[in-house]
Structure 1
Amino acid sequence: MEIRILRNFLEIAREENMTRAAERLHISQPSLSKQMKVLESELGKKLFIRSNYNLHLTDEGMLLRKRAEDLLDLSDKIIHEFKSLDDITGGDIYLGCAESYLIKYLAMAIKSLQTHHPQIRYHITSGDTVLVAEQLDKGLLDFAFIVEPPNLSKYNYLEIPETDTFGLLLKKDHPLSNKPCLTVDDLLPYAIFCSEQSIHSDLTRWCGEKIDQMNISATFNLTNNAAVFVREGLGLALTFDKLLEISDSSSLCFRPLSPTLEVKMYIIWKKYQVFTPAASLLLEEMKHMLQK
């Protein structure tokens, strides 16, 4: 299976039309159609449902699209890495970051590194620990910033010297806004939004057996999206402190939990990982900064 053919397959999937895809790829439509027939024959599965004007992916085609996107991302990363092996002044670094104000340590390391290496480019993916760890395992990332203890059999790590504090994002006119902190019993009557990761680890650790009584009405990955739901009065969002800038004019407020619920952040990378010069520079800068 050729990388070139997979790129052409993705172009067809995006355009949903063989002729338009061929025009964008600057190849003939018959040639592109023949490539797809060979690909279907090679995989032994039908990839497209053909109509008079459009093409739609079959379930097998959707699976190939996901796998091809991951494979091509990795292929592009390999090309960039080899191009940058002899270029210590530049290069690309790929990072996966959980939502946390402790990402400030990454920002400080990058700011320091830019003083002498302004040509380095940074590509940052945001998501929960499961998402960024999965991309790290696939080789799509150099480092991941996660908010749970790392798997020591798979990763090396650095520990951030601060913690994230959980609390609830709620409207200022909400009945609970008058309380300085919120208990499990305070939350039971209300709809709660939180991440899947929090349900299975953090919230369960805090609630104990009362987790089954919690009304988890929605899950989210990004606090900014959850805040929109909170503003509409749909519920309360479990999140970290300091993720949102809440001014006096904001309709929202943040209240910590009681007892306090905190988590630490870790920078992880795969064991025996071979870094590009740019990634090695960032790692050394982060080590130096955390030692201080």
Structure 2
Amino acid sequence: MEFRVLKYFLAVAREKNISKAAVSLHLSQPTLSKQLKELEEELGVTLFERGNREIRLTEEGLFLLDKGNEILSLVEKTTMNLRKDKLVTGEIYIGGGETRAMSLIAKWTKRILNNSPEIKIYLYSGNADDIMAKLDSGLLDFGIVVNPTNKQKYKSISLPQKDKWGLLVRSDHLLAQNEAITPNDLRVVPLLISQQSLVSDQISEWFGNNLDQLHIVGSYNLLYNASLMVEEGVGCALCIDGIINPANSKLVFVPLKPELSASLSVIWKKNQTMSIAATKFLEQLETE
């Protein structure tokens, strides 16, 4: 499968119409239709269900769309990092969850950009599973994840900052007056909990491995969205401190007791060939 034809497929999937895609690609409609037909024959699958007004992707087409976008992103990233002159240029792709440790990454990034202003930084927000999947596929250079990490697959540098866990509640909630939240307190409130499996394991251990006794009404992967649910009284959110600023909202953060904190690391794939920009970032990490 040629990369050029893959881009044709992605354009048609985006436009949902061969005529519109042909215009955007500066091709004739018959030429584009022929290329798509040959692609289906080469792969031995049907990629489109053709209707009168628009086309729909089959299950195989949706799979190719997902992988095709990853391939396109990887090719563009590789091309950008190879197009360099005497200045240090390129792109650094960093992924992580919502954490105060990102402030450290920001400081290090600022130092790099002061010396190499042509470097571009791209941030991706997601949970640990998302981050590691994108590291494995080459779509990220570095990830910020909760320890422990898979030392067989990744190299890592531990971060000095830890995330402290607690409960985000409305200021008029009964638990807002508490100095700390105990396991018994959690039995009586509807909870929103992080989707990240490792976090759930931590909470389960803290609670005595009786997570089924909690009244979990939902889950989240971005705390800002969960905080809106808390404001509306949907439930209270188990979360880390410092992401939502209670001073600017109707919310209160109450820490857990016994204290529960998570240590973090910056990780990257073993034996990967890094771009010059990513190497500069790693050098900055190692000097801190």
TM bucket by the smaller chain?
over 0.9
Alignment-derived partner of residue 128 in structure 1: 127
Alignment-derived partner of residue 37 in structure 1: 37
Alignment of 1:47-196 (within 5 A): 47-84=47-84, 86-196=85-195
- RMSD across aligned C-alpha pairs, in angstroms? 1.3
Identity percentage of aligned residues = 38
* Alignment: residue pair count: 287
Distance 1:263 1:4 in 2: 45
Tell me how far 1:87 sits from its aligned partner: 4.5
Distance 1:222 1:8 in 2: 34
- The answer to whether the Cα contact below 8 Å between 1:226 and 1:237 also exists between their aligned partners in 2 is yes
Aligned AA for 1:253?
A: V
Tell me how far 1:245 sits from its aligned partner: 1.7
Distance 1:5 1:208 in 2: 55
Distance 2:246 2:200 in 1: 28
Structure 2 vs 1, CA of residues 87 and 238 (structure 1 numbering), >3 Å: closer, same or farther?
farther
Aligned AA for 2:9?
A: F
Aligned AA for 1:280?
A: T
Distance 2:181 2:120 in 1: 42
Alignment-derived partner of residue 3 in structure 1: 3
1:242-272 deviations in Å (ceiling 9; x for gaps): 011221x521110111111111110011111
- 1:253 matched to 2:252? The reply is yes
Distance 1:176 1:145 in 2: 31
Structure 2 vs 1, CA of residues 276 and 160 (structure 1 numbering), >3 Å: closer, same or farther?
same
Aligned AA for 1:21?
A: A
Please list every run of 5 or more consecutive structure 2 residues that lacks an aligned counterpart in the other structure.
Answer: none
Tell me how far 1:216 sits from its aligned partner: 1.8
- The answer to whether the Cα contact below 8 Å between 2:112 and 2:284 also exists between their aligned partners in 1 is yes
Distance 2:160 2:44 in 1: 53
Name which of structure 1's ranges 152-161 and 204-213 shifts more when overlaid on structure 2. 204-213
What TM-score comes out, normalization by structure 2 length? 0.96
Name which of structure 1's ranges 56-65 and 204-213 shifts more when overlaid on structure 2. 204-213
Distance 1:197 1:13 in 2: 31
Tell me how far 1:89 sits from its aligned partner: 2.6
Please list every run of 5 or more consecutive structure 1 residues that lacks an aligned counterpart in the other structure.
Answer: none
- The answer to whether the Cα contact below 8 Å between 1:194 and 1:218 also exists between their aligned partners in 2 is yes
Alignment-derived partner of residue 275 in structure 1: 274
1:9-31 deviations in Å (ceiling 9; x for gaps): 11111111110111111111111
What TM-score comes out, normalization by structure 1 length? 0.95
Alignment-derived partner of residue 12 in structure 1: 12
- The answer to whether the Cα contact below 8 Å between 1:91 and 1:119 also exists between their aligned partners in 2 is yes
Aligned AA for 1:263?
A: A
Alignment-derived partner of residue 226 in structure 1: 226
- The answer to whether the Cα contact below 8 Å between 2:196 and 2:221 also exists between their aligned partners in 1 is no
Distance 1:279 1:138 in 2: 16
- Secondary structure, counterpart of 1:153 in structure 2: coil
- 1:242 matched to 2:247? The reply is no
Tell me how far 1:2 sits from its aligned partner: 1.1
Tell me how far 1:236 sits from its aligned partner: 0.8
Aligned AA for 1:270?
A: K
